Amino acid sequence: MSRTRRIIYWLATLVLASGLVGSGVQQLLRIENKGAVAPPYAWGIVELGYPVYILTILGTWKLLGAVMIVIPKYPLFKEWAYAGLFFLLTGALFSHVAAGSAWLEWIPAIFLLVLTVVSWYLRPADRKLPQP
């Protein structure tokens, strides 16, 4: 693997993991805001029509996915993590489109989706499933 490709891979992977950890922790904390209809970081979920409890599921999977794509070994789990992140982020994007959200609200999902694809595509051979 060339040095440039390795740098792009790690940059994309670490930025992706950081975004997943940041949003996952925010979703898991679910701090109540007195007088608000929904807790901070939950208003978007409520506006999209999802129940607030989905934040626990999403936050947990984001944290597990972030850990899995960064740690060495376990190529099968990495494949599952990348697939899950792809489904999560395309689902988020479609939810925003279906709910009629402004295009600016699509940007985080698109950004993380692009990072997911780049990280998956550029991953080193030792992070891929062995070819039969």
Q: Taking residues 43-63, what's their average pLDDT?
A: 88
Q: Residue 75's domain spans which residues?
A: 3-127
Query: Does residue 91 belong to any structural domain of this protein?
Result: yes
Rounded to an integer, what distance in angstroms lies between the CA atom of residue 110 and that of residue 92?
9
CB 59 within 8 A of CB 72: no
Q: Give tens-digit pLDDT for 78-129.
A: 999 999 999 999 999 999 999 998 888 889 999 999 999 999 999 998 899 9
**Could you tell me the pLDDT band of residue 60, with boundaries at 50, 70 and 90?**
very high
Query: Does residue 103 belong to any structural domain of this protein?
Result: yes
What percent of the chain lies above the pLDDT cut of 90? Answer: 62
Question: 35 by DSSP, 3-state: which?
Answer: coil
Rounded to an integer, what distance in angstroms lies between the CA atom of residue 22 and that of residue 28?
10
Rounded to an integer, what distance in angstroms lies between the CA atom of residue 73 and that of residue 77?
9
Query: Does residue 45 belong to any structural domain of this protein?
Result: yes
Rounded to an integer, what distance in angstroms lies between the CA atom of residue 78 and that of residue 80?
5
Neighbouring CB atoms inside 10 A of 85's CB total 25
CB 89 within 8 A of CB 113: yes
Query: Does residue 132 belong to any structural domain of this protein?
Result: no
Please tell me the total count of domains within the chain: 1
